[in-house]
């Protein structure tokens, strides 16, 4: 491979974990009917993710932290994710976890799996007087659809010389993935890429990702995705 350095950005909910943790928490502890309507409104782009989280947090009248932690501790990660982490370390590949969800459960799950050294960016969630209190330290009104615009982190943590890879599955990945040279997609992100005719590589587990990245590493030269370069250029010019 040429001198390009690989930078990998990975979604958390439904990608590293087997399910969407944020959605699962509110389905468990919130009003089921209200929660389903809120999530459906998000998926149909009637509300932003920030509005969605605010509404979901408000839907939980009281939360017991012990019960919440016990529920989070039952959430499983993709069994092949640790192998992917080791693969990246062995091949000197930088990667960052990006989430439009919350640090509360991400940190707890990563710590449980002895992966708390991984760098991640997410919204913040506190419990005050038995109520959920969300905070959005990375919110940017220029990207109002997302509470934590992942494309900002991609831009801030990579250069034009890097070959960027995105791995994701959902709504919050649709914009961010377009800023990367290579996209691994499943579920809603895959359908979006198909609909918008964006090139992608389908995956089910991180084993699929490892196999494909090995093939990329064996190439003499990696071709950067033109549309991603245009997206990044426009973003730089807008600053």
Q: Does a structural domain hold residue 32? A: no
Q: What stretches of 6-93 adopt beta strand conformation (E)?
A: 6-11
User: Measured between alpha carbons, how far is residue 138 from residues 98, 102, 231 in Å?
Assistant: 11, 12, 20
pLDDT of residue 235: 78
The verdict on residue 12 lying in a domain is: yes
**pLDDT of the residue at 2:** 60
Residue 226 confidence (pLDDT): 82
* Percentages of the chain per state (helix, strand, coil), in multiples of 5: 45, 20, 35
CA distance 133 to 65: 13
Question: What pLDDT is recorded for position 234?
Answer: 79
User: Residue 25: inside a domain, yes or no?
Assistant: no
Sequence-distant (6+) residues with CB within 8 A of 196 are none
The number of distinct structural domains making up the chain is 1
In a domain, 45, yes or no: no
Domain span at residue 234 reads 6-18+77-122+147-238
What does the pLDDT read at residue 13? 98
Residue 214 lies in a domain: yes
Residue 162 lies in a domain: yes
- In contact, 161 and 2? CB cutoff 8 Å: no
Residue 97 lies in a domain: yes
Contact 104, 29 (CB under 8 A): no
Q: In degrees to the nearest 10, what's the CA dihedral of 36, 33, 133, 129?
A: -160
CA pair distance 200, 192, nearest whole angstrom: 10
| pLDDT score for 1 | 60
d(C-alpha 93, C-alpha 148), whole Å: 24
CATH number of domain containing 179: 3.40.50.1000
Tokens standing for residue 49: 């993710």
pTM of the model: 0.95
Residue 139 lies in a domain: no
Please report the pLDDT score of residue 227 as a whole number: 87
120: which strand partners?
97
pLDDT one-digit tens code per residue, 50-83: 999 999 999 999 999 999 999 999 999 999 999 9
Successive 10-residue mean pLDDT values, the chain, 239 residues: 82 98 96 95 95 97 97 98 98 96 99 98 98 98 94 94 96 94 97 96 98 95 87 76
């Amino acid at each position: 491979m040429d001198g390009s350095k690989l930078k990998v950005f990975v979604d958390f909910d439904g990608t590293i974990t087997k399910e969407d943790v944020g959605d699962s928490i509110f389905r468990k502890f919130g009003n089921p009917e209200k929660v389903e309507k809120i999530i459906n409104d998000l998926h149909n782009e009637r509300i932003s993710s920030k509005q969605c989280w605010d509404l979901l947090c408000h839907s939980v009248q009281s939360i017991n932290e012990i019960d919440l932690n016990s529920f989070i501790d039952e959430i499983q990660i993709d069994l092949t994710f640790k192998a992917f982490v080791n693969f990246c370390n062995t091949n000197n590949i930088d990667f960052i976890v990006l989430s439009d969800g919350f640090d509360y459960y991400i940190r707890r799950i990563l710590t449980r799996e002895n992966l708390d050294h991984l760098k991640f960016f997410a919204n913040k969630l506190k419990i005050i007087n038995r109520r959920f209190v969300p905070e959005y330290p990375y919110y940017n009104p220029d990207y109002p659809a997302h509470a934590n615009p992942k494309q900002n982190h991609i831009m801030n943590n990579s250069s034009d010389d890097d070959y960027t890879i995105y791995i994701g599955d959902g709504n919050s990945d649709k914009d961010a993935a377009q800023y990367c040279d290579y996209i691994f997609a499943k579920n809603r992100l895959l359908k979006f890429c198909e609909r918008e005719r964006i090139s992608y590589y389908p995956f089910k587990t991180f084993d699929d990702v490892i196999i494909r990245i090995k093939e990329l590493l064996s190439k003499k030269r990696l071709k950067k995705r033109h549309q991603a370069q245009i997206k990044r250029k426009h973003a730089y010019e807008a600053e």
